[in-house]
């Protein structure tokens, strides 16, 4: 097994804070070798009522970023919000096992959309960058036993739509159209592009002889 730590392809050139307690989002940034601090926003996620789901996700991501940015004005703050849409309904995180079972029943055998919005914010500079990315996911036809057995694992309880594509829930996913990392909770291609655009990171220049 190769245990040697590989160098990062990027240099972090400005202080960066991830306003999320999500281990998945933290792992993504660590895998890329980015230097960052974690400060959880603790913003209460308001239930979606009406309107454009993408706009709602963008507003939630910005609210999380602003909650942290005010107390860290000289750092760039990145925050994100992920929602699952089936038909015209937005599925949040289930509050009970019964609700998780109901959500998975609605997703069973159908396509749905996953939107992750992110916001990069710098309080002192008055700078902000926001983007929402959408992917489509097809869940296989699930049996009642598969749904209840999965819910018992506890994994669905803190996930929008009641499943984790990167975890045990991977067994349910037939197809993905669009960004896989977006479905996990952070669209890396778009985020890295944005971080380069605002000057948070830059590609590491290889040493030449």
| Structural domain includes residue 132 | yes
Cα within 13 Å of Cα(197), Cβ side: 13
Question: Domain of 98: which CATH number?
Answer: 3.90.950.10
- Does the pLDDT of residue 50 top 80, yes or no? no
- Does the pLDDT of residue 1 top 60, yes or no? no
| Structural domain includes residue 5 | no
Helix (H, G, I), strand (E, B) or coil at 42: coil
Q: How confident is the model at residue 208 (pLDDT cuts 50, 70, 90)?
A: very low
Residue-level pLDDT at 209: 46
Q: What is the pLDDT of residues 55-93, one digit of tens each?
A: 999 999 999 999 999 999 999 999 999 999 998 889 988
| Structural domain includes residue 31 | yes
| Rounded-to-integer distance, Cα 207 and Cα 173, Å | 42
**Averaged pLDDT, 160-177:** 96
| Rounded-to-integer distance, Cα 41 and Cα 18, Å | 9
- 77 strand-pairing partners: 17, 121
Domain that holds residue 139: 10-203
**Averaged pLDDT, 99-111:** 97
Residue-level pLDDT at 4: 62
Check if 81 is active-site.
yes
Please give the backbone phi and psi of residue 73, each rounded to the nearest 5 degrees, phi first.
-65, -20
**Residue 95's closest CA among 173, 23, 160, 184?**
160
Distance between start and end Cα atoms, the chain: 30
Give the count of domains, the chain: 1
Percent of the chain with pLDDT strictly greater than 90: 85
- Tell me the two tokens of residue 9: 């392809």
**Averaged pLDDT, 131-152:** 98
Q: What's the distance, CA 155 to chain centroid?
A: 16
| Structural domain includes residue 4 | no
Residue-level pLDDT at 207: 55
- Catalytic residue chosen out of the listed positions 2, 50, 52, 81: 81
87: left (phi over 0), alpha (psi -120 to 50) or beta: left
Q: How far is CA 75 from CA 37, 38, 89, 134, 169, in A?
A: 10, 12, 36, 28, 35
**Averaged pLDDT, 101-125:** 97
- Does the pLDDT of residue 25 top 60, yes or no? yes
| Rounded-to-integer distance, Cα 128 and Cα 42, Å | 20
Residue-level pLDDT at 51: 81
Residues in the chain: 209
Residue-level pLDDT at 74: 96
| Structural domain includes residue 209 | no
| Structural domain includes residue 3 | no
- Does the pLDDT of residue 47 top 80, yes or no? no
């Amino acid at each position: 097994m190769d245990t040697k730590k590989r160098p990062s392809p990027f240099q972090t050139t400005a202080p960066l804070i991830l306003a999320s307690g999500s281990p998945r989002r933290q792992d993504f940034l660590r895998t890329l070798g980015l230097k960052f601090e974690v400060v959880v926003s603790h913003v209460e996620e308001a239930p979606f009522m009406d309107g454009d789901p993408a706009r709602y996700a963008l507003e939630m991501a910005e609210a999380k970023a602003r909650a942290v940015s005010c107390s860290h004005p000289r750092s760039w703050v990145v925050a994100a919000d992920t929602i699952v849409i089936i038909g015209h309904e937005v599925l949040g995180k289930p509050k009970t096992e019964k609700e998780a079972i109901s959500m998975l029943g609605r997703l069973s055998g159908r396509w749905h959309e996953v939107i992750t919005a992110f916001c990069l914010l710098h309080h002192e500079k008055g700078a902000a960058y926001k983007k929402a990315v959408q992917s489509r996911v097809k869940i296989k036809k699930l049996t009642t036993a598969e749904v209840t057995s999965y819910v018992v694992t506890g994994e669905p309880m803190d996930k929008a739509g009641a499943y984790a594509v990167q975890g045990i829930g991977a067994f349910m996913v037939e197809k993905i159209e669009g960004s896989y990392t977006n479905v996990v909770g952070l669209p890396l291609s778009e985020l890295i592009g944005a971080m380069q655009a605002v000057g948070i990171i830059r590609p590491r220049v290889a040493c030449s002889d």
